[in-house]
Amino acid sequence: MKLSRIVSSLAAAILIVVNLTAQAADLSVDQKKQVQDVVRNYLTQNPDVIIQALQVYQQKQMDQAKKTIQKTQDSSPQYVDALFHQPNDPFAGNPNGKITVVEFFDYQCPHCVEMTPVVEGLIKNNPDVKIVFKEFPIRGPMSELATRAALAAKQQGKYFEMHKGLMGVKQEPLTEDAIYKIAQSVGLDLDKLKAAMRSDDVDQQVKANYRLAQQLELLGTPALFIAKSDVKKGSPATAILFIPGQVDSNQMNLAINKISK
């Protein structure tokens, strides 16, 4: 949203608050109008007040986000087993790789979609890396349906193929029909897939990922955790690298090199 639109929206919100305050006060109609006119005139003549208020609000939001990110980094060793050592988690790359990258993602997250070539390139170019996929469907029912389809595909040995297919839907909204067409295109049995999507195993895995994301206080997707594959609970926070957000191939390689030392 452009700054001018934000300022206009903020000004409108201020006037609404003033209006509600005036209504709540024991004022006559004329007095209420006078209050509203005074505030409107002041904001019109002093637009910097709105911009300053917006800047203060944005700074507070940024400060809070930084605190949450640092808290996630500091607390991550408590969740080593849930992050790195869950036998049911789908993965790609070298199962015995010395470095493990855990990715929380949503199939309808554009930044996650844009990171797909980065992840695929990492698998192709770094044979000593294991990628663990943490399905985290936070963008509505269609995201959860896609997640369930991907996890169910694992039971037919086609998780990564289904994952790549779902991540390849870029231009059009993800739909139920699109999900099942992708499933057919990668050779999945649809009847078995749909039954598995409703299974307790898939249900419990989705819930476990939500629970872990809440414990880590993740702000969104993608979210990456990188560590040596033999990392243990109680390790120092520096043993794990938390990356909140999208990275390119160069940034990913720098992060892996940092952990490898």
CA distance 218 to 41: 42
Residue 75 reports pLDDT greater than 70: yes
CA atoms of 63 and 41, how far apart (whole Å)? 32
Among 9-23, 74-88, 153-167, 247-261, name the one with the lowest average pLDDT: 9-23
Which tens digits make up the pLDDT trace of 186-238? 999 999 999 999 999 999 999 999 999 999 999 899 999 999 999 998 899 89
pLDDT in tens, 96-109: 999 999 999 999 99
Closest CA to 138 of 179, 174, 106, 175: 106
Contact between 178 and 169 (Cβ < 8 Å): yes
Rounded to 5 degrees, what are φ and ψ at 243?
-120, 110
